[in-house]
Amino acid sequence: MTHVPVMLNLTNQAVLLVGGGHVAWQKYRTLAQSGARITVVSPELHPKMQALCEEGAFVWQARAFEASDVVGKLVIFAATDDEAVNAAVQEAALPTQLVNRTDKAMHSNFLSTATVQRGDLVIAVSTNGANPGLARKIKQQLDEQFDDHYEAYVAFLAEARLRILAVTEKGVKRNVALRQLLDDQILTWVQQGNRQACDDFVAQLIEGVRYDR
């Protein structure tokens, strides 16, 4: 089975997480910054989830799963250590709902990915459930390759792109300038904290497009 990678906007969307143990905690961590309205159903909660619940981060239904829990949920995670419960969650869901079973990936209609995020840069890794450990290993390698400087780097590239688009005309010269934004020197300057050099480079690109008209 081949899965199609997608990026979901879960802002204000209803998400159900069934389970309150370590696996559920790992799933919650992937959702924490999504802006989703999360409901957790579990008789007990992981200690770290308990603290977040007390802060109002999500709604906790302190009981066993009921079929009606899936109503109105866009995304559903069956993340318990009980195969029967996870199967019941899957059975209760509609075909139009996105369901992820942590115990049997082949029964899920979507898979979670191992993700590295640096601001707007998101790198997702999946083995289609074949070996989650390998996905985690690759994620660790990417964590090292794409360090925390990439958040500022991507933010600068986004800002610079808008500056170029705002003052240049559509065409080949603009496209060349946009490609030159990916010069490795800009990343080096970001890593060095040299914002002025970055700004000067963009100014030169803009002047070059204008001069060559």
Tokens of 49: 């989830």
143-201 pLDDT, tens digit per residue, is 999 999 999 999 999 999 999 999 988 999 999 999 999 999 999 999 999 999 999 99
74-110 pLDDT, tens digit per residue, is 999 999 999 999 999 999 999 999 999 999 988 899 9
Give the H/E segment covering residue 27: helix 22-31
Do residues 71 and 93 make contact, with C-beta atoms less than 8 angstroms apart? no
**Do strands 14-18 and 75-78 pair parallel, antiparallel, or not at all (unpaired)?**
parallel
Residue ranges of domains in the chain: 14-112, 113-146, 149-211
CATH of domain 113-146: 3.30.160
CATH of domain 14-112: 3.40.50.720
- The pLDDT value recorded for residue 103 is 93
In percent, the amount of the chain with pLDDT more than 90 equals 84
Distance of CA 141 to the CA centre of its chain: 17
Alpha-carbon separation of residue 140 from 106, 133, 143, 146, 195 (angstroms):
25, 11, 5, 10, 29
What single letter denotes the amino acid at residue 10? Answer: L
Environment class of residue 178 by beta-carbon count within 10 Å: exposed (0-12), middle (13-18) or buried (19+)? middle
**CA distance linking residue 40 with residue 205, whole number of Å:** 51
How many residues belong to the chain?
213
Whether this model's pTM surpasses 0.75: yes
